[in-house]
Structure 1
Amino acid sequence: MLDVRRLRLLSDLARLGTIAAVAQAHTYTPSAVSQQLSALEREAGTPLLERTGRRVALTPAGRVLVEHSETVFTALERTTAALAAVATGLSGPLRIGAFPTAVRTLLPSTLVALGRQHPGLELMVTELDPVAVPAALGERQLDVGLLHDYDVVPVKPDPALDAVSLLEETVFLALPDTSPTAEHTNPLSDVRDAAWIMASPGTLCHTVTLHVCRTAGFTPRVRHHADDFVTVLALVAAGQGVSLVPQLAAARPPVGVRLIPLTTRRRTRVAYRRGAAAHPAVAAFVAAIRDSASVFTDQHAPGS
């Protein structure tokens, strides 16, 4: 019989690449991880790893076992969900990961609603970049997390996760209100020579801004780098440049900022481990945050 905990270590090794990374994710020592993987090899009756000096790689048998491990993990999540469904009332921790703009706009009302409906839930929020959410879910540091991508730069889904659509936002061109009108079919044409405020290189927001600008026929001239949209909008209001800002971040722009809607859209999803959709706590969170997103959309619809 294969030990599920050891199987998870092997799966994480395939995902993370090194025993040291697996050890860090599980707060084990590398030696302890190696011992557990050796025990898994004995259980499997076949070598799962090829060791060359300090490096390890999966054998064909190891790759087959990792491939089938997702089925095992999904079945365990479904079993956990089924047990939770027959319990009386929701209780225990619900660990939530969300990016900063969602924490400020959607989560407060979501947490209030969940606390009122299910007082036994211990709601725990971690502000987290969406890029880090899949690993945090896989390592069981989170139960649910918010992911996003953009229609112009879609992100490939993680095969270990399920997700449901939550929100599709307009992306705005944010510029100082003293700037030209930008009333063209492509408003970016008026800011091709402007200074830009962009996210850090390597982030999804940085990639999206480069893509949008290059599609409009120019490469942005970067003056400032900032990853928090509150900071971005403050810099725009101070006349320091222009930027792209999604609707959640643009709900209450500071004085001195003008927002021009673009055709680009940011898409947010609620993600959880595959098989966990029927877990009552996960389902309750999805329902509550969808209600919050619906209210936000209604309040910020054109003409509202």
Structure 2
Amino acid sequence: MSWTLNQMRTFQALSQRGTMAAAAEALGYSIGAVSQQMAALEASVPRQLFLRDGRNLLLTDAGHVLVRHVEAILNAEAEARAAMSEDEQQQSTELRLGVFGSAAVTLVPRGLLLLQESAPNIRVHTQEIGVDQMTMAVVRGAVDLALGVDYPDAPETPQRGTTIIPLEEEEMLMALPYAADTFEVPSSPARRRKLARESDWILAPPDSYLGRAMRVACVRSGFEPRVVHQVTDSAVAIALAEAGVGITPVARRMLQLRSTKSALMPFPKSTRRRIVLVVRTASLERHSVTAVAEAFKRAAVDEP
């Protein structure tokens, strides 16, 4: 069965007015055009649609069933036309945003609040995804854009067709296996290096981006970490450091996810990470995508 919108409009007009002449007048067609369109429509369906009563045409039971669906289709088509005629910035739309732990707790609520103020017509659905899977989730189209991390000491090759939008940069620190009120943090890089070399470490596995980046950071700082505990969850790693079992790397946003009483000290050589947005380059032509990006840029800068 194959029907055109014109056939549907003509069928609706005929069902409402009862004669081909009245339908033709309402639509601005000739009677012959109305007759041809109805003949084509009836030929495409397996049941009779009209009963003739002199010049009047009455709907059969099948005709009554079809007209209800036709009205729904024509209403949807009218809504689609109206939506396409709106200013792009006013159109209602939905996006999927990939998020991860420490960003989800701190940056995401602020970003969504600012987006609601600047573009209330854009609705964002968040989806928690592992940091290592973020870029591929964008490439595959599982999400429209995603929050991710980038470690300048261990940069990863960008996926073709994606753009990385920096949001903020923060220093990586070492959470020590000592309580802040009972231990004096070494002030010189040499003493920090000695402490780091002689201590046990809690790191993410080496096949994870965080694990690789932190091992590179340790080597850049002049020591090889003695990894005793391999932990992916940052909150668990921070808790273990506080319990005194080793050193673990932390960033400010991680500490907002799980605060600690551990003493904190910088790496012997400055180590940083960036919070970024990952998006397909072509999608940057979408107003909704750029609006979300701008909201999260503001959230990173203006966050209390």
TM value normalised by structure 2:
0.64
- Report the CA distance between 1:270 and its aligned residue: 1.2
Say whether 1:121 aligns with 2:122: yes
Structure ranking higher in helix proportion: 2
Identity %, equivalent residues: 26
Say whether 1:137 aligns with 2:144: no
Amino acid in structure 2 at the alignment position of 1:158:
Q
Contact 1:110 1:288 in 2 (8 A): yes
The gaps in structure 2 that reach 5 residues or longer are 1-83
1:201 aligns with 206
Q: Say if 1:145 and 1:252 are closer, same or farther in 2 by CA, change over 3 A.
A: closer
- Report the CA distance between 1:267 and its aligned residue: 1.7
| TM-superposition CA deviations, 1:254-300 (whole Å, max 9, x none) | 3421221331110222121112213111111111111111124xx5x
1:293 aligns with 300
1:87 aligns with 88
| TM-superposition CA deviations, 1:144-188 (whole Å, max 9, x none) | 112322121111111211222111111111113245522222423
Say whether 1:150 aligns with 2:157: no
Distance 1:240 1:234 in 2: 9
- Report the CA distance between 1:251 and its aligned residue: 4.1
Contact 1:99 1:128 in 2 (8 A): yes
176-185 or 207-216: bigger deviation = 176-185
Q: Say if 1:291 and 1:84 are closer, same or farther in 2 by CA, change over 3 A.
A: farther
Larger radius of gyration: 2
Distance 1:265 1:156 in 2: 18
User: Within 5 Å, which residues of 2 pair with 1:40-79?
Assistant: none
2:21 aligns with none
| TM-superposition CA deviations, 1:76-132 (whole Å, max 9, x none) | xxxxxxx89943514232100122111111001111222344333331111122321
TM value normalised by structure 1:
0.64
- Report the CA distance between 1:143 and its aligned residue: 0.7
Amino acid in structure 2 at the alignment position of 1:247:
R
Contact 2:138 2:146 in 1 (8 A): yes
Distance 1:87 1:230 in 2: 42
Say whether 1:282 aligns with 2:289: yes
Contact 1:180 1:190 in 2 (8 A): no
Q: Say if 1:85 and 1:269 are closer, same or farther in 2 by CA, change over 3 A.
A: farther
The one of 184, 187, 192 equivalent to 2:188 is 184
Distance 1:117 1:217 in 2: 47
State the superposition RMSD in angstroms.
2.3
Say whether 1:241 aligns with 2:242: no
